[in-house]
Amino acid sequence: MNSNEEFLTITQSTVTVELSQLGGESFISRSQAKRVLFKLERFKRITLDFKNVRIVGQGFVDQVFRVFQNKYPDIQINYIDANEDVEFMIKRGIATAMNLDRP
């Protein structure tokens, strides 16, 4: 193989958030968000699948949609299959993050 050839890279990942659950825990804390996001800085696009996740907390949302996003601004984070409660918290967290990041 020629050293000038480019290698195929995977730039997108979908994470089933439910699979990161330990027991019957809810996704409330920043440490839980860090566990979900572990090693995802390698991707350009991340989709978080919230199917069967009943609730998320403010710390979890802030860690994902503000802290991680600020650390890796070139990564696009999307979410799917969020119930009303989860979507409410995500949208609220994103709006808060946008206000905090304004000068």
Per-residue pLDDT, averaged over 73-79, amounts to 95
Percentage of residues in the chain having pLDDT higher than 90: 54
Q: Examine residue 2 and state whether it is found in any structural domain, yes or no.
A: no
pLDDT at 101: 60
pLDDT classification of 88: cutoffs 50, 70, 90: very high
Question: Which token pair is 39?
Answer: 């090693």
Assigned domain for 26 exists: yes
Q: Is residue 34 within 8 Å of residue 63, measured between CB atoms?
A: yes
Residue type, 59: G
Residue 3 within a domain: no
Phi, psi of 94 (to 5 degrees): -65, -45
How many structural domains is the chain composed of?
1
In a domain, residue 93? The reply is: yes
Domain limits at 42? 14-100
In a domain? residue 79: yes
With respect to residue 48, please indicate whether it lies within any of the assigned structural domains: yes
Q: Which of 58, 60, 70 is nearest to 48 (CA)?
A: 60
Q: Tell me, yes or no, whether 5 lies in a domain.
A: no
What phi and psi, each to the nearest 5 degrees, are found at residue 95? Answer: -65, -45
In-domain check, residue 9: no
- Give pLDDT, residue 1: 47
Express each pLDDT in 5-43 by its tens digit: 555 567 888 888 876 666 666 778 899 899 999 999 999
